[in-house]
Amino acid sequence: MLNRQGRPTQSGESAAESHPTFTGNRALQQIEPLIFEIGHHETTGVDIDPPAPFKSRLGAHARKGEIGLPGLSEPEAMRHYVRLSQKNYGIDTGLFPLGSCTMKHNARLNEKMARLPGFSDVHPLQPVSTVPGALDVMLQLSHYLMTLTAMPAVALSPKAGAHGEACGMMAIKAAIAAKGEGASRNVVLVPESAHGTNPATAALIGFSVRSVPARADGTVAVEDVKALLGPDIAAIMLTNPNTCGIFEPQIVEIAAAMHEAGAYFYCDGANFNAIVGKARPGDLGVDAMHINLHKTFSTPHGGGGPGSGPVVLSARLAPYAPVPFIHLDGDAPRLVEHKGDAPQGNAPFGRITAFHGQMGMYVRALTYMLSHGSDGMKQASEDAVLNANYIRAGLQDLMSLPYPDHPSMHEALFDDEWLKGTGVTTLDFAKAMIDEGYHPMTVYFPLVVHGAMLVEPTESESKASLDLFIATLRDLAMAAKGNDKARFTGAPHHAPIRRLDETRAARQPVLKWVAPRPISEAAE
Amino acid sequence: MRYLPLTDTDRLDMLARVGVPDIDALFSDVPADKLLKAPLDLPRTKGELEVERIMGRMAARNVAASSVPFFVGAGAYKHHVPATVDHLIQRSEFLTSYTPYQPEIAQGTLQYLFEFQTQVAALTGMEVANASMYDGSTGTAEAVLMAHRVTRRRKAVLSGGLHPHYADVVRTLSEMASDDVVSLPADVAANEDILAQIDDETSCVVVQNPDVFGNLRDLAPIAEKAHAHGALLIAVFTEVMSLGAITAPGEMGADIVVGEGQSIGNALNFGGPYVGLFAAKSKYIRQMPGRLCGETVDSEGQRGFVLTLSTREQHIRRDKATSNICTNSGLCCLAFTIHMTLLGQAGLERVAQVNHANAVKLADLLAGVKGASVLNESFFNEFTVKLAKPAADIVEALARKGILGGVPVSRLLPGAGLDDLLIVANTEVNTDEDRAAFVAALAEVLSC
């Protein structure tokens, strides 16, 4: 039987299930051992001639024992890592609706540009006179970021979003200290619905954290913020659009309240991709905001990183931006590498990473910005928002919305109210999506929503792709409501591997390969 | 715009399905006076060819390391990376995947993280390693915070041989958290008395080996004194290739080992992205920052891998987390793992030997240059040269002759009175011709 997309609706158990293979492989689904199980200590996939005899100057420090690492020849290594790649899902594989993570098309032009030797093969400490093009990339990227945010300054060096949060909060701490309030103003407000990185960052920088309650409609109310304000409040860390996918309607009032109380407004810019070209954080009263280049400007995330998290700063915080930074003496860019070299009026709070930040990511982000232009970036935001709302509209009769009163921005948030009584959990539902060929949405986040499911399609998806996704989720939702529980509780059935025991991994941590043993016993 | 699949017809159909008259109706929570009415003052969309031209012109203005005799190190190193590495990390399924939150369809990422952790533990001589940090410098700061958690003390002692930028990163974070830092003065000859700084308040001693000036150091006596006072030894390296030739820090008693992994698998990239390596004794795993990948089984008993011990992390522990870090350098540690797998221990030892041999050759050649002398007793692939003239001027003069001749210490430590020192690195990429050109040019600019 075919459904409306022309796909069979009955998966059933395949005939092959009753005929286990000798290898444990299932055709292209192959079991791949670890390199430690297939490599040898004497094997190497790199040809390099030994040096002619020479007098070592290692002294007593020469390594005596074995390292204990195997090598693979080049063909073995190629096959091993290609096979591993085949056990992964990426945005090029299919729709990757991870809300709050933003998985959009990774243009290969960005990769090609980042690999130009003039960018990739340049040392951070080679003479500044030999890298004018690198400084130009940093200047241009800064210009784009400042224009898109209406902020007068940017610190480029943070190496990821959370590192950017730390950088912004350090600038706030430095500004407070400069006003002589360092000892008394030490509390940061963080909404319950915030990313865990926000309270963790505030604590890292030596602040204590006070929670702002979430309203029933998923937003933060200015009265709740005002009730918490006092001379001890240093800042609020607020995500906007927030983690429920809603633009905080009272953001301007909240910013004004913070400023009136002598405090600062840190905006978590993780969801900036929803408003690029539509609204500017500087116009809303933001003092500092990090921008995840990998999310908003599509640098690939490679299984978890690297990221890049430049921070835009208001005029009040700009003087405290960390070194290194580029200062324009007229038209001439100067790289300021030390606090002591800072131009008049600047008081950098320090250094947060060894070198100049994620140049490779700057190149990719700038390439993306040049490609889109101001018109394309605005259109991308609008399409991301439209796509999210289209998914919401296509599912809201079957799945429940915790916050129906606000439009969704770039991501649509569902809860598990609609699964009540089915015996199917949010996690089961997510795992069943894997069997249908989709990466699950973000589940159980934000924490303030029970059984949360946060869907972010991004602007990269076509209408046809969204229609198929909606149809699949509708089929699954109907199955869940129709007592087809086995489809969910054992899922995934068709992934390279079945449901993994995460509790066991945490209770008996095995964090590295230890002793030679046959693969067949490795699971015992 | 070539990256946007929706057509105008699609958009109209979809707005109708959503039930709003126009797109701005979906931005109704944005205060009306804050919604931009006109496009921002930035260039309009450009085709691929035009973007290539613009970026290409900027790239061409930089001097690429491989285009000249190149001796710059001090925390980042020019090595040869096999073509296979970049090919493999550009496989879509690796490149375009996210953090492996759904392990059943992220076994590729998780298995390489497990291999990475095992390789890093073996290289450093430690019991466990995490799935990488942003880079060596931020990893060092995290190691100090971890030592504070383990010892419940808040005073760190930093060696004068620690890379000045790494020391800066530690100090920045420590100042914010009101922790104590004792920074020893720059220690060119590795003869500082760090033992005298260790007391019962000390949480950790941070020592780099090879140090920033290239000296090799014996960490064992420092570990011994630290442990006698209940403090931890944090061993740092900026050149991971050195571990193919010298005694592993774990064998010298280090409690936490942290360093820069850029040399294996990763390009120079003007400073990033790089990959921080982080390893420790296993009794400290619950205090470690960053991501950890662990082995487990699936419902059919088959081996698989998952992210684990997440109860340390900020999405569960919020402000009580071990760190605010919620990512790693995934793709960079994949590059590291693949290159390390191709090398194996045999290849790593070989390439490390060649690095050392090349550096020894260069040191011998420099001994014949009037106005230059090598300060180090022992070194791996980098050493410090004392010059008869300010090193920054010499480096500029060499650059004008098309040679990138090292890092003046004054660039790392301005005002420290070390303006006549030059840090010179020499790896497997440098040829006899490169060295001859360098030495001849140096002799010339020193004699002017």
SS3 B387: strand
- Round the CA-based radius of gyration of chain A to a whole number and report it: 26
Any chain A CB within 8 A of the CB of B186?
A: no
- Residue B448: how many other CB atoms lie within 10 Å: 7
Question: Cβ–Cβ of B342/A72 closer than 8 Å?
Answer: yes
Chain A CB contacts of B361 under 8 Å are: 54
Lowest mean pLDDT among A49-53, A221-225, A519-523: A519-523
Take residue A498 and report the two structure tokens written for it. Answer: 């079945």
Q: Chain B closest CA to A355's CA: distance in Å?
A: 5
Polymer length in residues for chain B = 448
Residue B204 contacts A, CB cutoff 8 Å: no
pLDDT > 80? residue B388: yes
Q: Is the pLDDT at A419 greater than 90, yes or no?
A: yes
Q: Which of A124, A163, A495 is opposite residue B76, by nearest beta carbon?
A: A124
- Residue B325 contacts A, CB cutoff 8 Å: yes
pLDDT, averaged across chain A: 94
Q: Which of A105-114, A208-217, A271-280, B275-284 has the lowest mean pLDDT?
A: A208-217
Question: Which residues on B lie below 8 Å from A209 (Cβ)?
Answer: 318-319
User: Is the pLDDT confidence value at B122 over 80?
Assistant: yes
Which DSSP letter does residue B33 get? G
pLDDT at A4 over 60: no
Instruction: Locate the chain A residue with the closest alpha carbon to B15.
Output: A386
Cα–Cα distance for residue pair B153/A233, rounded to 1 Å? 27
CB contact under 8 A, A302 and B407: no
Q: What is the DSSP string of A362-399?
A: HHHHHHHHHHHHHHHHHHHHHHHHHHHHHHHHHHTTTS
Euclidean distance between CA atoms A357 and A136, whole angstroms? 15
Q: Which residues of B touch A507 (CB under 8 A)?
A: none
Helix (H, G, I), strand (E, B) or coil at B389: coil
**Residue A2 — very low, low, confident or very high, per pLDDT cuts 50/70/90?**
very low
Mean pLDDT calculated for residue range A475-493? 95
B295–chain A Cβ distance below 8 A for any pair:
yes
First CA to last CA distance, chain B:
57
Which of A246, A352, A371 is facing B51, going by the closest CB pair? A371
Q: What is the pLDDT of residue A518?
A: 54
pLDDT of B268 strictly over 80: yes
Question: Which of A57, A71, A340 has its CB closest to that of B360?
Answer: A57
- The residues with which A268 forms a beta bridge, in sequence order, are A239
User: Residue A12's pLDDT is what?
Assistant: 47
State the average pLDDT over residues A58-79.
96
The closest CB to that of A306, out of B103, B115, B329, belongs to: B329
- The DSSP bridge pattern shows strands A233-239 and A264-268 to be parallel
B329 to chain A, any CB pair closer than 8 A? The answer is: yes
* Burial track B151-171 (b if 16+ CB lie within 10 A, e otherwise): bebbbbbbbbbbbbbbbbbbb
Interface contact flag, A87 B89, Cβ < 8 Å? no
Query: Measured between CB atoms, which of A71, A170, A375 is closest to B346?
Result: A71
Does residue A66 have a pLDDT over 80?
A: yes
Quote the CA–CA distance of B418 and B186 in Å, as a whole number.
Answer: 9
Mean of the pLDDT values across residues B315-329?
A: 89
Task: Give SS3 for A29.
Answer: strand
Tell me what percent of the residues of chain A surpass a pLDDT of 90. Answer: 89
Assess B116–A contact: CB distance below 8 Å, yes or no.
no
Cα–Cα nearest to B374, from B433, B442, B434, B437? B442
Enter the pTM of the model. Answer: 0.96
pLDDT of residue A524: 45
Nearest to A305 among B50, B308, B331 (CB): B331
Which residues contact residue B124 at a Cβ distance below 8 angstroms, ignoring those fewer than 6 apart? Answer: B235, B243, B248, B249, B250, B254, B257, B259, B277, B279
Q: What is the pLDDT of residue A347?
A: 97
Percent of chain B, pLDDT > 90? 96
Say yes or no for a CB contact (<8 Å) between B332 and A112.
Answer: no
Q: Lowest-confidence range among A199-213, B139-153, B316-330, B392-406? A: B316-330
- Going by C-alpha positions, the residue among B112, B111, B131 that lies closest to residue B121 is B131
* pLDDT for A523 beyond 70: no
Which of A217, A278, A279, A288 is CA-nearest to residue A258? A288
Task: Tell how strand B421-425 and strand B382-387 pair up.
Answer: antiparallel
Helix (H/G/I), strand (E/B), else coil: A264: strand
d(CA A18, CA A11): 16
Examine the pLDDT at B147 and tell me if it is beyond 60: yes
Chain A to chain B Cβ contacts (< 8 Å): 727
At A15, is the pLDDT very low, low, confident or very high (cuts 50, 70, 90)?
Answer: very low
Query: Tens of pLDDT along A117-141?
Result: 999 999 999 999 999 999 999 999 9
Of B283, B267, B287, the residue nearest B275 (C-alpha): B267
Find the angle CA(B102)-CA(B106)-CA(B111) to the nearest 5 degrees: 125
Reported as a single tens digit per residue, the pLDDT across B9-43 is: 999 999 999 999 999 999 999 999 999 999 899 99
